[in-house]
Amino acid sequence: MYDNPYHNFHHAFDVTQTFYALLHITNVIEEISELLQFACLFSALCHDLEHLGVNNNFLSKEYIKDVITSLIMSTDMARHAEYLTMMRSRSTMDEGQGLTTITKLELLIKCADTSNVS
C-alpha cells in the first residue's frame, strides 16, 4: 500500500466490509454472479494498492480485469464530482434502472470508500 497513514489495511478492510453491506442493502447482490461478487470485494480490498499482483488464473479473464480496473478507478477523487452528480440524480438504486450494473457497483464502492475513517 502507499506510504500514507490513511491508506492502510484497516481502511481497505473497512471499504470491503462496507461495500459488501451496500451490495446487500441495495439488493444489487441479487443481480450479479458470484464471480462478479468476488471482483467487487477484491476491488474494494485492493483499491489503494500500488501494485495489484493479481495472478489467479480466473482473474486473467479480460472482463474481470476490466471490472476490477473500473471499480478501483471509480474511487479516484478526481472523478468524485461526476459520481456525486450521478448519486444526487438517483434517490435510490431502484430508481436507477437506467444505470448499468457496473455503474451501480462503481457508485457503491465510491460510497464504501468515503463512508469510514481509518
Q: Point out the annotated binding site for Zn(2+).
A: 11, 47-48
Residue 24 annotated among the catalytic residues of the structure = no
List, as residue ranges, the binding site. 11, 47-48
The CA-CA-CA angle for residues 30, 62, 26, to 5°, reads: 20
Catalytic choice (7, 10, 24, 51) = 7
Q: Is 35 left (phi over 0), alpha (psi -120 to 50) or beta?
A: alpha
| CA pair distance 79, 71, nearest whole angstrom | 12
Q: Which residues are catalytic?
A: 7
